[in-house]
Amino acid sequence: MTDSLLSIRDFSVVYDVDPPVAAVKNVTLDIKRGEIVGLAGESGSGKTTLAYGVQRLLKPPAVITSGSVMFHDASGEDIDLHALDAEEMRRFRWDKISMVFQGAMNALNPVSTIGSQLDDVFLVHRPEMNRAERRAAVIELLEIVKVGGARMRSYPHELSGGMRQRVMIAMALALRPQLMVMDEPTTALDVLVQREILRQISDLRHEFGFSVVFITHDLPMLLEISDRIAIMRDGEIVELGPAERIWTAPKHEYTRSLLRSFPRLTGEKGVVVR
């Protein structure tokens, strides 16, 4: 079995507007089994477009113009994601690759309980499960993400932002995927809650062995949790390497600029020049 879980080769996406905009340009990237890969860059660098494109979630005017995406299943099967038809791709998502979308904690249905929304995942993707089995699975998920099974009867507005985000992580974990893509999962959360969520993602990765692609503009955050980091700029990966090397010896000037853009908590005070 190959060590690579997902192989992206020469992948490009263009927004077909006037004039056309090249959002992702010939990206090649491998995601290994069990690792956390951070995808960093400023807004508009192509991070989310790449993640959506890989999973065929893009909508017009976005067009995939080149490249391939191969998923190396734990069973030993190699799956060409762009060769799957719409129904095959629908079944593949959440089962093999799940995603926590940007702003997802505000995307829960406000008139349905947390339990019923998690139950829907099993109802659609695991139709062979009976009601008692689905209920037990929902309670187990809520316990795993430290929300608690008693909360299955709660509505989203009765939960804090951090708890809603944990519910979204539980939803992404429901079918035990091999890869979880997380797009800015800690946006709008305070620093302490962010730390709790990050610690939990790391713990769950170790417990269940899935890989993570973690998308954010917050490079210092990625330095703490990632095994490797890919830096994106203008639709291209300009630097890729182990997190420690990105921190201690960045090779690209853009990476150095990103690192300098975050204030340090120690050292001498700087002078702002206007």
SS3 annotation, 241-256? EEHHHHHHCCCCHHHH
pLDDT of residue 274: 37
pLDDT of residue 137: 97
Name 253's Cβ contacts closer than 8 Å, sequence gap at least 6: none
pLDDT of residue 104: 67
pLDDT of residue 262: 72
pLDDT of residue 189: 80
pLDDT of residue 35: 96
pLDDT of residue 272: 42
Inside any domain, residue 84: no
First to last CA, the chain: 56
- Provide the residue-wise pLDDT of the chain in tens; the chain has 274 residues: 579 999 999 999 999 999 999 999 999 999 999 999 999 999 999 999 999 999 999 999 999 999 999 999 999 999 999 999 999 999 999 999 999 987 766 789 999 999 999 999 999 999 999 999 999 999 999 999 999 999 999 999 999 988 998 999 999 999 999 999 999 888 778 888 888 888 999 999 999 999 999 999 889 889 999 999 999 999 999 999 999 999 999 999 999 999 988 766 555 655 443 3
Inside any domain, residue 50: no
Tell me if 81 sits within 8 A of 54, measured CB to CB: yes
Inside any domain, residue 149: yes
Domain with 115, as residue range(s), is 105-176
Name the residue among 43, 36, 26, 68 with its Cα closest to residue 238.
26
Using CB atoms within 10 Å of the CB of residue 69, give its burial: 0 to 12 exposed, 13 to 18 middle, 19+ buried: buried
Inside any domain, residue 145: yes
Inside any domain, residue 126: yes
Inside any domain, residue 147: yes
Inside any domain, residue 184: no
Strands (E), the chain: 4-15, 21-32, 36-40, 62-72, 78-80, 97-100, 179-183, 211-216, 228-233, 236-242
pLDDT of residue 186: 82
Inside any domain, residue 139: yes
Measure Cα distances from 41 to 79, 147, 236 in Å: 29, 31, 10
Six-digit token pair at 27? 């990206």
pLDDT of residue 157: 93
Measure Cα distances from 22 to 25, 32, 47, 64 in Å: 7, 27, 13, 10
Task: Give the alpha-carbon dihedral of 219, 222, 224, 230, to 10 degrees.
Answer: -100
Unique residue bearing structure tokens 């995927």? 177
Report the domain count for the chain. Answer: 1
Strands 211-216 and 36-40: parallel
